[in-house]
Copies of this chain bind each other. A is one copy, B any other.
Amino acid sequence: MRLTTRGRYAVTAMLDLALHGDKGPISLADISQRQEISLSYLEQLFAKLRQMDLVSSVRGPGGGYRLSRDCTAINVAEIIDAVNESIDATSCNGKGNCQNGGVCLTHYLWDDLSQQIHRFLSGITLDSLVQQQEVRPVMLSGAE
């Protein structure tokens, strides 16, 4: 199972889009500055986000990215799925052939855990993160 900075970066960048997206397309350079993520790395991540139709792009000066759906209709699990291979915790990718073609001792445990995580993350929309942002005091992240 993988849940590393890649997934975190992707969610952070998408949230940045959700927060600033009302002012037209947002360039990766902006996100790069605000969130302290390397531009080239962002480009790689956004290539995948675009493939999964989570964002759409506008090229040329003044261009950038915008969410391709309303932020109430994009959840965190989708974002992580798009950039990470998966959030599966089993060794067999859910196939159940972990040991000699059969399920290993702990297959169901990891399978259940994966479902648990997926259920949790898919219940959280970008919008709900935006709401939370407005309630919880944003220490700095930009200002200061």
Contact = CB atoms under 8 A, between A and B. Distances in A.
Interface of A: 1, 3-5, 8, 11-12, 15-16, 35-36, 76, 89, 91, 96, 99-106, 108-110, 113, 116-117, 120-121, 124, 129, 132-133, 136, 138-141, 144
A96 to B, nearest CB: 8
A110 B15 CA distance: 14
Given A35-B99, A103-B141, A109-B124, 9 more contacts: A1-B3, A3-B89, A8-B106, A12-B105, A36-B99, A76-B109, A106-B129, A113-B117, A116-B117
A15 B109 CA distance: 12
| Total copies of this chain within the assembly | 2
